[in-house]
Amino acid sequence: MTRVKVCGLTRREDALLAAELGADALGFLLAPSPRRVSLGTVEALVRDLPPRALRVGVVVDPTPEEREEIRASGLFDVLQFHGREAPEDLSVPGLRAWKALAVRGPADLDRLEAYGNADAFVLDGGTPGRGGTGIPFDWSLLRGRPSPRPFLLAGGLGPENLRVALERVRPWGVDLNSGVESAPGIKDGEKLRRAFAAVRDFDARQDEMRREQTERRERGEAS
């Protein structure tokens, strides 16, 4: 099953809708951004939400003091590092670590091995140290490049291109942000629903193909 993360949440109604649609992770930007939220805002946004979805704090080159403040808040399950952090900077007691990497060429993918201590990767377009830009990168760069950890595909994903992205890349998960917005930080409910529908339709078709393959094998063995 393809995991779905909805990132850049700033409004409670958007967080509620994402949770209702079955999001596996909810992302909150704690670094400078039009979608930046404070820890107090995050607390209000996640209050009484179903516990199913992981709470992800997105940070860019946080100081040790900032990492400790985020950890001590108890609001998050995951820290997503979106800057120039060294591998040793990813270790925060009690929190999983996702490392975002800007993919502009093969050399960027070579860096994955250095972050083998990450629990997952977020592969995005953009410029290192600045977070994502909402622009898809060249997905063909991933062809034949196994990742040492599960990865989420990010960068301008929305209902219009999700189906193609899933067919071409087959990621562990997808990270939705600007592609399901009407304005920075304001999620478009219709786009969000269509995006989830595209993911679920892809997963259902993959399940059906696997069932058909199993049935063909069983018929072959029986004959």
Q: Coil, helix or strand for 150?
A: coil
Q: Which of 61, 110, 119, 124 is catalytic?
A: 124
Q: Which of 7, 14, 24, 175 is catalytic?
A: 7
Active site residue 77: no
**Scanning the structure block, which residue is given the tokens 């985020």?**
70
String of b and e for 30-52 (b: at least 16 CB within 10 Å)? bbebebebebebbeebbeebeee
Report the run of H or E that residue 27 belongs to, with start and end: strand 25-29
User: 94-97 — which CB contacts under 8 Å span 24+ positions?
Assistant: 95/70, 95/71, 96/54, 96/120
24: annotated active-site residue: no
Tallying the residues shown for the chain, one arrives at 223
DSSP 75: -
Classify residue 125 by burial, with Cβ atoms within 10 Å: 0-12, 13-18, 19+: middle
CA distance 222 to 24: 40
Residues with catalytic function:
7, 124
